[in-house]
């Protein structure tokens, strides 16, 4: 989205390019967030069943 012109456009033609490092970091961050959510879900499920928390 071109915020100056208020229209959509081809960012490559406008020389707006994200480096590969930015995309890799975004994928790593998303993966870490999902991992934390799944771990929290395991802890909640374990405590509901009366067990101890995983890894303890």
Q: Is 47 helix (H, G, I), strand (E, B) or coil?
A: helix
Q: For residue 8, is it within any domain? A: no
Q: Is there a domain that residue 1 lies in? A: no
Complete DSSP assignment for 11-44: TTTTT----HHHHHHHHHHHHHHHHHHHHHHHHH
Per-residue confidence in pLDDT tens, the chain, 56 aa: 777 888 898 888 888 888 899 999 999 999 999 999 888 877 777 777 665 655 55
Do 24 and 16 meet the contact criterion of CB atoms below 8 Å apart?
Answer: no
| Domain assignment present for 26 | yes
Q: Is residue 45 part of a domain?
A: yes
What was the pLDDT predicted at 50?
A: 65
Phi-psi region of 5 (alpha: psi -120 to 50; beta: other; left: phi over 0): alpha
The total of structural domains in the chain comes to 1
Asked whether residue 13 is assigned to any structural domain, the reply reads no
Residues in the chain: 56
- Domain encompassing residue 56: 18-56
Distance from the first to the final alpha carbon of the chain: 49
């Amino acid at each position: 989205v071109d915020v100056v012109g208020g229209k959509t456009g081809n960012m490559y033609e406008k020389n707006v390019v994200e480096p590969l490092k930015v995309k890799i970091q975004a994928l790593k961050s998303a993966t870490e967030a999902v991992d934390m959510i799944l771990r929290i879900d395991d802890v909640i499920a374990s405590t509901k069943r009366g067990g101890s928390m995983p890894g303890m």
